[in-house]
Amino acid sequence: MKKGNKDQESVMVRLATFVVDKRNLFFLLVIIGTIFTLFSRNWVEVENDLSSYLPIHSTTRQGLDVMEEQFTTFGTADLMVANISLEEARRVKAELLELDGVQSVEFDDTTDHYAHASALYSLTFDYDEDDERCLEALDRARESLTGWDVFVSTELGNTKGDIIDAEVNVIMVYVAVIVLVVLLLTSQTYAEVPVLILTFVTAMILNLGSNFLLGKISFVSNSVTSILQLALSLDYAVIFCNRFKEEHQTLPIREATIIALSKAIPEISASSLTTIGGLVAMMFMQFKLGPDMAVCLIKAILFALLAVFVVMPGLLILFGPLMDKTQHRSFIPKIPFVGKFAYLSRFVIPPVFLVLVVLGIHFSSDCPYVYGYGSIETPKLNEVQIASQMIEENFTSKNLVALMVPTGDYEKERMILDELEQYTEVDYTMGLSNVEAMDGYMLADRLTPRQFAELADLDYELAKLVYTAYAVKNEDYGRIIGGISAYRVPLMDMFLFICDQLDEGYVTLDKEQTDDLDEAREQIEHAKLQLQGSEYDRMLVYLTLPEGGEETYAFLDTVQETAQKYYPGESIYLAGNSTTEADFKAAFATDNTVVSVVSILIVLVVLLFTFRSAGMPVLLILVIQGSIWINFSIPAFTGTPLFFLSYLVVSSIQMGANIDYAIVIASRYMELKDQMDHRQAIIETMNFAFPTIVTSGSILTVAGLLIGQMTSEAAIVGIGQSLGRGTILSIVLVMFVLPQILLIGGAVVEKTSFSVPSAVKKHRASGRVRVDGLVRGEISGTISGTVHAIVDGDVDLNLISGYAQEEAEHETQEN
C-alpha cells in the first residue's frame, strides 16, 4: 500500500486505517459490551398484549385505559378437571374455595360447568391480575388437584413470554446450523466462516444489550429480531469478506483489509438503505406494533453494520493467515443455463409475468385476513393452547365485552342491560344493577328502611336510625324532614355504611349478624372494585357470537348505540377481545396502504440515486412488488386465515430486503452489457449473482420457514410462513423473470437516465498505476466500467470518479 502524505489519502482510507490499527481497542470494547449485555438484557420489559399497541384514539385503547385507571380486575383462571363424577366435582369446588387467595369459584350442575365427565371451575383470586400472589394461589389450586387430569387456561404471569423464549432458542440453534452449512458451501476458504459467524454474534449480542434503551418492546420484536437480524444483514459481512479476498490477491493482509474496508463502507451502507427504507415504512403504521418492530429491526441492522465495520477488520487480520491455508474450490456451480434461458425467453416471460401480477393484485385483495387467533391453527401447540383447546371442546367458550358508562345512575344501567339481554347475540349480562345481593334484591336496588330491616333481620326502629345517620353523613337533610321511612338508599351503599358504623362502634350486632354482614361486605366491596369507578361504571356483556367476524363487529355497534341512547353526548367505552379485533381491522384498512406506498416510495428514491434512471427502479420494484402480491394471493387460494400483522411486517421486509437480489443482478448486467453482447452479459451476470442470492436468500427463507413451523404464537407463525414463502417467490422471480425484463427493458432504462457522468480529469501514465474508480479509456485495450486494479503498462483514461496514481513496484510488496 502506498504510504504517502495523509492529505492525499481518501477519507475512507484514513478511516479504515484507524479501524484496522485500533482493532485491539475495538475487541476490548466488544468484550466490555458483552459483559454488560449479561446484565442489561434482563432490564428489558416485554409486552405480551397486542392490544397495548392499538392507536391511542381507538375505542378499545381508551376503554382499556379507563379500566386500568378506575377498576380492579382480579386475577382469574379456568381449571378443567377431566374424568370426574359430578359428586366429586362438587367436593373439589368446596376444597378450592377453602384455599388461601381464592375469592370465588364458579361451578354448578349446568352444562356450562359439567359436561362429558369433565368439570370446569372458573376461579377468581383475591388479588389484582398483575399481582404475583395470583400465581401462588393458582399453584396451590394445582397442587390440590394432584392426581386428577387438570388443564389450566389463564392469562396470568408471563407464560406466553416464557414459552416463546424457549421456542425461539430452539429455532436459533436450527438457524445457526443452517447458516453454518450455507456459509461452508458458499465460502472459498474454510477460515472465513468463523469470521462471519463471530461478526454476526457480536452484532446480535450488542443489539440485545441495547434493547433496554427502548424501555418496553413487544413479544414479537423480542422473539424474531435476532433471527431476522442474521437473515437480513449477513450479506454485509459476506460483501466485506469478498472484498478482502479480492484485495488480498495482490496486497498483504493488513493493507488488503484497509483497502477492502474503505471500499466496503460506502458499498454496504448503500446496500443497507433499501432494507432500512422498507422497515421505515412500518414507522407510519397506526398499529403501534409496527413502529416497535421497525425500531428494533433498524437498530439490529445498524449494529450489524457496526460489527462489520469495526469488529470484522480485526477478525480478518486475526484469521487472515489461516484463510490463506484453508482455501478450497467453490461448491457453488456456474449456472449458464439460466442466462441462456433468459435470453431465449425474453419476449415470452415478461408478458406472462404481467398476467401473474394482475392476478396477484386481484387475489391478494381477497386474502382471508383475520384479526384474532380464534380461527388460526398453528403448526405447534403449547401447553396453554392445548388446555384452552380441551376446554373449548368440552364447554362453550365465553366472549366477554366490558361496557363503561358514566357512574351514578343505576336505573339507566338496569335499562341498558335489560335491553341488551333481549338480543339473541347476548348470553347474559352483569352489572351493579343486576347482581343479586340476597333474597332477590340487587346490589343497586334502592330500599326503604322497612325493606332493609326485613332483608337484614334488623329492628325497624334501628333501621330508621341507621338511615337517618346515613342521610346526615351525606348531608341529605331534606330526607329527614320529609320522612325517613320513605328514604330509599342503594342496598350496597347502606350495607357498607353499616359496616363502617359497626367498625366505629356505633352499631352493635350479634355474632351471627356480624358474620353475615362481614361476608356481605366482602362480596360487595369486590363487586364495587370491579364494577364501579370514580367516574365510570363497568358492565359485563357476554356474547353468544365468536370473538371475530363481521356479525360480531356489527353487533358491537349495536351495543354502543344502545348505551349511547341513555347517555346522549357522553363518552361510552367498550373493551374486550372482540373490540380489539374490530380496532385492528379499522387500523389495518389504513396501515396496509400506508406500508405499501411508503416502502415503495423510499426504495424508489434509493434506487433513483443508485441507478440514476427513472426506468430501472420501476422495473426492479415491479418484480419485488409482484412477488408480494403473489405471496399474499396464496392464502386466498388455500383458504388459510392469515393474521393481519403478517402482511404489514412481511411486505415491508420483503420489499426492503429482497430488492437487494434484484439490485445485484441489475447492477452487474448494466456494467457488462456495454462490454459484450447481451446474451453473454446476462449469462455472466447470473453466474456472478447466483452465489450472493443463494447465500442470502436461502438463509432468509430457512429462517422464515423455521419461525413459521416451530413456534406456537399465531402472530409470529404468520410472519415466518409469509416471509419464507415470499423470499422463495422473490428468488424465483429475480432469477427467472428479472433477466428477461432487463434484456427487453434496457432501452427504457437508457432513455430515462437523468444523469450522465462526465469526465472530471484526464490521466496518462506508464508503469505501475493504481486505478480505483469509474473510468473510460484504454488499458492495453479499451475498458469501461468500475475498476479496482493495479495496472502494469500504459494508461490513458478519462477518470469519471475515484483516483489513479503511479506506484513503485516494491510498494505493493510491503507487508
Closest CA to 651 of 687, 598, 701: 598
Greatest Cα-to-Cα distance within the chain, rounded to the nearest angstrom: 122
* CA–CA dist 245, 626 (Å, integer): 36
Tell whether the model's pLDDT for residue 505 goes beyond 80: no
At 626-639, the pLDDT tens digits run 999 999 999 998 88
Q: Residue 307's domain is classified under what CATH number? A: 1.20.1640.10
| Within-domain flag for 797 | yes
| Within-domain flag for 16 | yes
Across the range 391-396, mean pLDDT stands at 84
* CA–CA dist 364, 360 (Å, integer): 6
Cell of 746: 434496457
Within a 10 A sphere around the Cβ of 121, how many other Cβ atoms? 22
**Cα angle 337, 340, 346; round to 5:** 135
Residues 236 and 312 in one domain: yes
Closest CA to 546 of 301, 372, 332: 372
Query: Cβ distance 306 to 206 under 8 Å?
Result: yes
Which of the two residues, 351 and 801, has the higher pLDDT score? 351
* CA–CA dist 607, 232 (Å, integer): 18
| Within-domain flag for 513 | yes
Residues 132 and 270 in one domain: no
Residues 291 and 171 in one domain: yes
Domain encompassing residue 127: 52-157
User: What integer best gives the mean pLDDT of the chain?
Assistant: 84
| Within-domain flag for 266 | yes
In angstroms and rounded to an integer, the radius of gyration of the C-alpha atoms of the chain is 35
Helix (H) or strand (E) holding 549: none
Share of the chain above pLDDT 90, in %: 27
Residues 10 and 131 in one domain: no
Across the range 520-535, mean pLDDT stands at 82
Within a 10 A sphere around the Cβ of 679, how many other Cβ atoms? 15
Closest CA to 247 of 784, 621, 770: 770
| Within-domain flag for 291 | yes
Residues 197 and 310 in one domain: yes
Out of 157, 176, 208, pick the residue that ends a domain: 157
SS in 3 state form for 739-757? HHHHHHHHHHHHHCECCCC
Residues 195 and 306 in one domain: yes
Q: What is the pLDDT of residue 779?
A: 62
Residues 13 and 124 in one domain: no
At 683-695, the pLDDT tens digits run 999 988 888 888 8
Out of 157, 188, 222, pick the residue that ends a domain: 157
* CA–CA dist 734, 727 (Å, integer): 11
Domain count, the chain: 4
Out of 531, 566, 588, pick the residue that ends a domain: 531
For β-strands 489-490 and 441-442, DSSP reports them as unpaired
Q: What is the pLDDT of residue 327?
A: 87
* CA–CA dist 558, 581 (Å, integer): 16
Most confident of 46-60, 78-92, 266-280: 78-92
* CA–CA dist 539, 541 (Å, integer): 7
At 342-359, the pLDDT tens digits run 999 999 999 999 999 999
Percentage helix, strand, coil, to 5, in the chain? Answer: 65, 15, 20
Residues 326 and 184 in one domain: yes
Residues 15 and 62 in one domain: no
Q: What is the pLDDT of residue 130?
A: 84
For β-strands 782-799 and 216-218, DSSP reports them as unpaired
Query: Cβ distance 246 to 788 under 8 Å?
Result: yes
* CA–CA dist 313, 202 (Å, integer): 13
| Within-domain flag for 353 | no
Residues 6+ apart with CB under 8 A from 104: 97, 123, 124
| Within-domain flag for 498 | yes
Across the range 76-104, mean pLDDT stands at 91
Q: Residue 92's domain is classified under what CATH number? A: 3.30.70.100
Residues 234 and 199 in one domain: yes
Tell whether the model's pLDDT for residue 2 goes beyond 80: no
Closest CA to 288 of 93, 57, 5, 64: 57
* CA–CA dist 76, 153 (Å, integer): 9
| Within-domain flag for 581 | no
Within a 10 A sphere around the Cβ of 68, how many other Cβ atoms? 12
At 103-130, the pLDDT tens digits run 889 898 888 889 889 999 999 998 888 8
Residues 135 and 165 in one domain: no
At 321-340, the pLDDT tens digits run 999 899 888 778 888 999 99
Q: What is the pLDDT of residue 45?
A: 86
Tell whether the model's pLDDT for residue 477 goes beyond 90: no
Rounded to two decimals, the pTM is: 0.79
Strand partners, 771: 789, 804
Identity of the residue numbered 37: T
Across the range 604-626, mean pLDDT stands at 87
* CA–CA dist 586, 580 (Å, integer): 10
Residues 90 and 20 in one domain: no
* Helices and strands (DSSP H and E) totals, the chain: 28, 20
